[in-house]
Every structure is written in C-alpha cells, then in structure tokens.
Amino acid sequence: MLLIQNARIASENSADLLESDVLLEDGIIQSIGKNLTVPAGAKVIDAKNRILLPGMFDAHVHFREPGFEAKETIQTGTEAAINGGITGVVMMPNTSPAIDSATVVSQVLETAKRQSRIPVYTSGCVTKGRHGKELAGIDGMRALGVTMLTDDGDTIADPAVLLRAMQYATEFGMFFASHCEVPELAGPRALNEGVTSYRLGIKGSPACAEEIIIDRDIRLAHAAGAHIHIQHVSSALGMETIRWWKNRGDVKVTAEVSPHHLLFTDEDIGDYDTNYKMNPPLRTKADNEALLQGLIDGVFDLIATDHAPHTPFEKSQDFVSAPNGITGMDTALVSLYHHFVATGKFGWDLIVKRYSAEPRRLMGLPVALIEEGKPVDLILFDPDAETTFTTDFMKSKSRNTPFINQTLKGRVDLVVLGENILLERQTS
C-alpha cells in the first residue's frame, strides 16, 4: 500500500495541475482526494511540488535483440526506459534475424517476458528480411498480437509491394509505419544538405529525400484504405505534407516527432561529433521551430525517441562511416521538460497526451489514467530537481547521446506499475 501525498496531477485534458493525495493498493488506484487518511502500514511519500503523471509509452525503440546484443538487449533497454519514466515500448524489427515471422516474434516476446519489468510490444516487418521484395509472414505475426508493420531503417523501394501489403494486412486491423527516404537522393545519409555539410566537406542528404516518400506512402495508404504512420519526421515541408493530408480527412494518417529533431540542428555537429549523426538527419533551426509548432498544433500525434543504441567503437569511427542513431529513453522526458515545459513552450498536458496517451491509442492499448479504480501506471517527476546524465546514471547499454555529462532541470523520482515500485530515487 502506497500513499502519495500533495502531488500535482497532470492530465492530457487540462493544463491545470490538480493537487491531491493518491492511494495505491493491490495495483489499483483506490482513492484520490485531499488529506486522505493514512492507512495502517502504508508507505507514505510526500510529493509536495512534484508532478504525478501516467507512465510514458515509447512507440519507436531499437533494442537490437536478437543479433546485436553488444549495442542493447531487451533487459538493458527496458531498464533505460524505466530510468526515463517509460512504462511500455514498441520494438522495431531491424534485428538479426529480422522480426519477420511468428517464430521471431515469439522469441522476442518470450525474452521480454523473462527479462523486462514493463510491457514490451514488437512491430513486424512488411517484407521478408526487410529486403523489400516478398511479403513477410504477416498473418502469423498478427496471431501473436503484432499490429504495426514496418521495414523501419529502410524505405520499401517498390511501391507495388507496399500497396499489396496494405491491401492484405488492413483487413486484419494492422497498420503501417514508414521510414521515409529515397536512397538515391539521401546518399550516405550522414547529415542534412546545407551550410554545415558544405563546411564539413560531406555530401548531405536533402530534405526532399524524406518528403517525397512521406507523400508517396500516404497516397498508397489512401488508395488501399490503410492506416499509415509516418515515423521520425524531420523537415518542415514533410510536416506540412502530413498536415495537408490530415486536413483532407479521407485517409488515416498519424505521425511522430522525436525529441532530437525538436532540440538539435545540423550546426550542433560541430567538428564531426557522431553523437549528432542520425537518420533522418538533424536539419535547420527553422525546421525545428516548425516541428515544434506542428507538435503543439496536433499535426504530430505522438512523441517517440527512435532510441538507437550503438557501441562506443562504432560511434568513434569517422563521421561518414559511423552508424546513425541516438539513445533517447534515459533522457527524453527530462529533456522535454527542461527545454519546453520549464520554458513555457507547452504544458504537461501535451506531454501526457503525446508521450503517454496517444502512443497507447496508436497500438490499440488502454490509456494509462490517474483515476480511481484504474490500474496503477504512473511516475512522479520533480521539476525543481536536476538530472546529470553521467555514464553511471544511464541504464542503456550504449551511451551515444549528446546529453552525456549534461545537467538538465527535472528528475524522474518514482515509477510504479501495478503492485511494483520499479524505480524510487533517493531524494533529500
């Protein structure tokens, strides 16, 4: 039994924070109200000035298992999630072997059942081996609960293949998530084409390489009557393309934005810092500002980290050779608070809606709610504290993030899921 006193409760439906006590027992929120009586034997936490939120949910993570466990495992990845206040995740299928059949899905889910303290869901490939040629074992994956199909990491080059997959799988209630780029235009995919790429002497990837496929894949979904989800949008025009299609109202399209595409630009790369190398690449300040407004306007349905761990050896290579990707789960919530909530750009209601509620809705899951009678799935956040992202603090197996050794405002103090306290920081 746990009584959280004087918490300020955040909701997706209101910018106001309701101060209240919350009593948790047997994995259920038993009571919410002012000055609740302390039950005998209850653990009490005074949450004065702290924010009580539903657990976050990340619908785009790379855990690298099976096949690339040196980068991350399901166990280390989910511990990083908990460290950042995330209580559910969706894995991407670009593993080895790729998650393209019921056999591999079963293996992943069994591993997660043994090793993870939070729910782990997985997407499945659209095509076998993510080769873009032959449809994956879609029906077998669906029977194991897979709803999202994607060849994330690559675009399906042949539109006829994607259209056929959409026509087939939509009947089963599945949807498609698209990594959008024209490889012939994107080139080495090292960084955005512009002033920084010219300065560094590296061929850049133009935004149109992404924008062309955003429009193509939405058009294919329109033709097939499918639901299309556009992943990690990085450009202003790409976002406006999504807005235009949404305004038409005759195709189901959702989209996500990643924290790094809101926070960083290609100028941050400096002298070839590979922690800022990702795909799609960081673009310009004007793009960032447009994406932020798109998030506030609701063009983006959700925030997702695209958590992409790599070993120090891999990231220590030259800029063109180093792999794309940034870790994000340890850092996402604190960085969003520090840069946007604390500065008044948006409120806690947007965080709850876009990083907790809508990702769960996308996956057809119940939304985590802080209401009487609901299952316990919540976190406690201290806006007056600070977090320093040292290597000791990080739980991800990899450390490829620009936030290493940075100190930001805010701290995740408590994570509770069901009857279990998954994280409780020692505070003073």
- Count CA atoms within 13 Å of residue 368 on its CB side: 29
Q: What is the DSSP letter of 93?
A: S
As annotated, the active-site residues are 306
Distance in angstroms (rounded) separating the CA atoms of residues 136 and 130: 8
Cα pseudo-dihedral 209, 210, 215, 218, rounded to 10 = 140
Relative to beta strand 51-54, strand 14-25 is unpaired
Is the CA virtual torsion 66, 69, 72, 78 positive or negative?
positive
Q: What is the DSSP letter of 353?
A: I
Which amino acid type is present at position 132? G
Q: For residue 159, is the peptide bond before it cis, meaning its omega torsion is within 30 degrees of 0?
A: no
Q: What is the DSSP letter of 29?
A: E
What are the counts of helices (DSSP H) followed by strands (DSSP E) for the chain?
14, 16
Cα pseudo-dihedral 61, 67, 71, 75, rounded to 10 = 60
Least Cα distance to 323 among 336, 338, 334, 309 occurs for 309
User: Is 397 exposed, middle or buried (CB count within 10 Å of its CB: 0-12, 13-18, 19+)?
Assistant: buried
Distance in angstroms (rounded) separating the CA atoms of residues 203 and 228: 31
Q: In which element (H, E) is residue 78 found?
A: helix 74-83
DSSP secondary structure letters along 354-385: IIIIHHHHHTT-PPP--STTSBPEEEEEEEEE
Q: 207: which 2 tokens?
A: 């935004």
Which amino acid type is present at position 282? L
Distance in angstroms (rounded) separating the CA atoms of residues 184 and 182: 6
Distance in angstroms (rounded) separating the CA atoms of residues 161 and 154: 14
- What is the CB neighbour count within 10 angstroms for residue 195? 12
Q: 28: which 2 tokens?
A: 């259920």
